[in-house]
Structure formats: C-alpha cells, structure tokens
C-alpha cells in the first residue's frame, strides 16, 4: 500500500467528491461502487444513469484529483446503473439540483 494510506482513508476521500451540478457527492448519488486499493493502484466503478453523460470526463478528473496527494494511481471504470439505481439517482438529483 502507499505510505500511510488505507482503503478506508482512500474511500473517505473519494466519498467527498461532489457532483458539479447536484449538491451531493458522487457517492451519495450512488455513482461510486467497488473501491479497491492494491499497493499504489486504486480502482473504483463509476456507474452512470445513462451512457451519454456529457460530464463523464470531468467526473473522472475530479475523482483522480481527489486522491492525487496520496500518490495513488486511480483507475476509474465506467458502468451503467440498474433501473432501480437510476430511479434513486433521479429522485436525489431532483431534490439537490443546483445546475451548472
């Protein structure tokens, strides 16, 4: 593992990454799954409500930047939300929408 970094610390940092248009973290929106840490390599699954999200590259950059200070290389894998996850996401989006 990277010096002084645990999976818990890494996950805590990732969980603070906010969605740029919704006043909620990506984690709270249900978009972050399967956070893993192996030596200096970390990975996670970013699940999207639709495959054509125009800000996907921005979200990936925000996630990678959030752990940069730990000296960890973060691989962001992209997945698709289930119908149930989409409904939960849309309800939270409506509640916390702030716009771009």
Read off the pLDDT of residues 66-94 as tens digits, 9 standing for 90 and up: 999 999 999 999 999 999 999 999 999 99
- Does residue 2 lie within any of the structural domains? no
CA torsion 80-22-15-55 (nearest 10°) is 50
Q: What average pLDDT is seen over the chain? A: 93
- Does residue 47 lie within any of the structural domains? yes
- Does residue 67 lie within any of the structural domains? yes
The pLDDT, as a whole number, for residue 88 is 97
The pLDDT, as a whole number, for residue 2 is 45
Structure tokens at 48: 């999207």
What pLDDT, in 10s, does the model give residues 42-74? Answer: 999 999 999 889 999 999 999 999 999 999 999
pTM reported for the whole predicted model: 0.92
CB 55 within 8 A of CB 20: yes
Q: CATH number of the domain that 67 lies in?
A: 3.30.300.130
Residue 4's pLDDT band, with cuts at 50, 70 and 90, is: low
CB 41 within 8 A of CB 70: no
- Total number of domains in the chain: 1
Instruction: Print the domain residue range for 32.
Output: 7-96
């Amino acid at each position: 593992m990277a010096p002084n970094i645990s999976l818990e610390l890494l996950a805590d940092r990732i969980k603070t990454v906010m969605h740029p248009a919704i006043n909620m973290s990506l984690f709270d929106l249900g978009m972050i799954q399967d956070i893993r840490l192996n030596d200096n390599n970390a990975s996670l699954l970013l699940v999207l409500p639709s495959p054509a999200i125009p800000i996907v590259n921005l979200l990936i950059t925000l996630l990678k930047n959030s752990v940069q200070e730990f000296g960890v290389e973060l691989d962001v894998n992209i997945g698709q939300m289930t119908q149930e996850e989409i409904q939960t996401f849309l309800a939270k989006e409506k509640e916390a929408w702030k716009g771009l």
